[in-house]
Amino acid sequence: GAGVSQSPSNKVTEKGKDVELRCDPISGHTALYWYRQSLGQGLEFLIYFQGNSAPDKSGLPSDRFSAERTGGSVSTLTIQRTQQEDSAVYLCASSLLQGATNEKLFFGSGTQLSVL
Amino acid sequence: AQSVTQLGSHVSVSEGALVLLRCNYSSSVPPYLFWYVQYPNQGLQLLLKYTSAATLVKGINGFEAEFKKSETSFHLTKPSAHMSDAAEYFCAVSDKGSSNTGKLIFGQGTTLQVKP
């Protein structure tokens, strides 16, 4: 497809389980971002990948969260031992060039994560 | 650290009335500022951006925003609201100003309701 693709669109899991969320950015986009959208909290930055540079992980809320980007394309966000406060919409975005300032971000539709 | 504050989590206007969505920023460097819109059941998309070229920025769908350094504001306006403008609007600032490695820091969002 032409846009940013995220899967699954919805994920329901039990507290304590691990989950993996997938993001396929637009082909050729070098920058990839993960954000979390919670009710009343806006968009919370999680992690940012740019080409072969070390990712900016400054937004990850705890060590239960990790992400990788293989081959400069697909990215997986992993949440271990999920907690109820992890419930949110997880958004992925990509941009063509180096960063957010000169290139607009293209967002996926998100993964709605519900932790019971 | 750079941040944005959106005043008012919900704004309601009548169709045809002026739309004003408020955003104030805090930045230690000359800021790059953005407005993104999220229509129901769609991903976020760029509405407009300020990158120091002109203080009045025009975006899609008749929206515009004015950068006012003295007021540290970047309010979004539209002269006449349309029913299709009902959406959630996010103000954002690049955390490193003009640096290409900057990531976007988003506000908490404002839900715009348009009444017939």
Residue B116, pLDDT > 90, answer yes
Question: Are A98 and B94 in contact (CB < 8 Å)?
Answer: no
Residue B1, pLDDT > 80, answer no
Q: What SS3 string covers chain B?
A: CCEEEEECCEEEEECCCCEEEEEEEECCCCCCEEEEEECCCCCEEEEEEECCCCCEEECHHHCEEEEEHHHCEEEEEECCCCHHHCEEEEEEEECCCCCCCCCEEECCCEEEEEEC
Q: What is the pLDDT of residues A38-51, one digit of tens each?
A: 877 789 999 999 88
pLDDT top residue among A83 and A98: A83
Question: Are B103 and A56 in contact (CB < 8 Å)?
Answer: yes
pLDDT of residue B41: 82
Comparing CB atoms, the residue among B43, B90, B102 nearest residue A109 is B43
Q: Which of B89, B103, B110, B111 to mutate to test the interface with A (most CBs of A within 10 A)?
A: B103
Q: What is the pLDDT of residues A104-114, one digit of tens each?
A: 889 999 999 99
* CA–CA distance, A25 with A108 (Å, rounded to integer): 8
Comparing CB atoms, the residue among B45, B46, B100 nearest residue A101 is B100
Question: Lowest mean pLDDT: which of A23-27, A82-86, B82-86, B93-97?
Answer: B93-97
Nearest residue of chain A to residue B89 (CA atoms): A42
Residues from chain B contacting residue A56 (CB–CB below 8 Å): 103
Question: Are A40 and B49 in contact (CB < 8 Å)?
Answer: no
Question: Are B42 and A45 in contact (CB < 8 Å)?
Answer: no
Q: What is the pLDDT of residues A52-77, one digit of tens each?
A: 888 989 899 999 999 999 887 899 99
pLDDT confidence of B97, banded at 50, 70, 90? low
